[in-house]
Structure 1
């Protein structure tokens, strides 16, 4: 790789890292290109050379976050393991991802609220509906075999997302309600990760006659 290409690549990586941090903190409306340039330690003119508008840069970051979510789910759903093992991994992966970036759920929800059509189109382009169909089909297959209770797969999946995401979206409420400092909150999240998996799996196990 030539020196110029290497410099260009390094500059773009710095811009994307800085933009991700600023957008996650402030969202699209609150972020300024100058904030991103300052965070990346680059001048604003160079930032505009790579990304002519804040909106274009934001779309790059948002699509990357959706893609990460999709790839995590795809890897788990394609694994040759049981449905219960997949549920455990999905819960653990989502909580670990959000724990490493606590503002991510709020970031995604804000953009779903601001521009739902664009977000849904991105999800469609990534074929997320096909991935969810795989989850749904596995749940239906287990119901038909009698290994789990008869449940609505849509509600099951929504409950999984809600129970993993809500403690991060409502972190101040969780800390205030349960009187948790930062260390206490971290311990709470680790225990919550185990409890959510157990709660969901226990709710699916058929009750013996």
Structure 2
């Protein structure tokens, strides 16, 4: 009789894998190390996930799909462009503060496997910016915003929000702050980033 997969064991494996991937990255992580972290044997780990790639994708998907639908909902609600920028920034920074490994995961995997994002793009809840772009054009025509392409504005929003997490050690060194100071700096960016972007595009 085939062994039935236990959801609690799978949850323990994913939590352990997240910790190891966060510390070692995809290439540096070892299945034995993940098994040890989960306090199971390697055979059990392979029963649940046949390869490190599959395990990595499961960890990544779990985290990303918690965030992506939230961001997609903000981009496609009925709020103004300014409100979208503020809500997007607040939600993104709050989420990544709890999952700081995620931006590095994305960059590592895109460098290692550029086609990986194509799998993500087809998932339900993946951010769609078409309505956001149309709303920007409407507000430009009304004289609320300066002329700007929606794609460029979206990239600006993403870049200003992502970089402090990807380059955290560098930022701490540049501005000479400890972990506590860095956490406060990131918290402040919820308003700093939004204000900066909004002030730059207001007509």
TM-score (norm 2): 0.91
Residues 130 and 189 (structure 1), Cα distance of their counterparts in 2 relative to 1, 3 Å cut? closer
Q: Check conservation: 1:84, 1:201, Cα contact below 8 A.
A: yes
1:11 pairs, out of 9, 15, 23, with 9
Structure 1 residues 193 and 57, CA gap change in structure 2 (3 angstroms): same
Distance 1:31 1:144 in 2: 51
In angstroms, what is the RMSD of aligned CA positions? 1.9
C-alpha spacing 1:106/1:130, structure 2 compared with 1 (3 Å): closer
Superposed displacement of residue 127, structure 1: 6.3
The answer to whether the 8 Å contact 2:92/2:161 transfers is yes
Does 1:137 pair with 2:137? no
Comparing 70-79 with 190-199, greater Cα deviation is found at 70-79
Q: Map Cα deviations across residues 106-145 of structure 1 (whole Å, 9 max, x no partner).
A: 11101011111122x1233126787121221221221122
Could you tell me how far 1:154 is from its partner in structure 2? 1.2
Match for residue 158 of structure 1 among 155, 159, 169: 155
Distance 2:168 2:61 in 1: 25
Structure with the higher helix share, 1 or 2 = 1
1:149 aligns with 2:118: no
Q: Distance in 2 between matches of 1:21 and 1:97?
A: 17
For the 8 Å contact 1:63–1:122, the answer to whether it is kept is no
Question: Within 1, Cα distance between the matches of 2:62 and 2:143?
Answer: 39
Rounded Cα–Cα distance in structure 2 between residues aligned with 1:70 and 1:101: 13
Deviates more, 1:192-201 or 1:136-145: 136-145
Of 109, 119, 123 in structure 2, the residue corresponding to residue 122 of structure 1 is 119
Question: Deviations for 1:15-46, whole angstroms, at most 9, x for unmatched residues?
Answer: 11111221222222111111111111111111
| Aligned counterpart in structure 2 of residue 25 of structure 1, from 23, 27, 42 | 23
Give me the whole-angstrom Cα distance separating, in 2, the residues matched to 1:52 and 1:61.
Answer: 14
> SS of the residue aligned with 1:116?
coil
Deviation per CA, 1:164-203: give whole Å up to 9, x if none.
Answer: 1111111111111111011111111111221100011111
Determine the structure 2 residue equivalent to 1:191.
Answer: 188
Once the two structures are overlaid, the 10-residue window that deviates more, 55-64 or 154-163, is 55-64
The structure 1 segments of at least 4 consecutive aligned residues displaced by more than 3 Å after TM superposition are 127-130
TM-score (norm 1): 0.88
Matched, 1:62 2:56: no
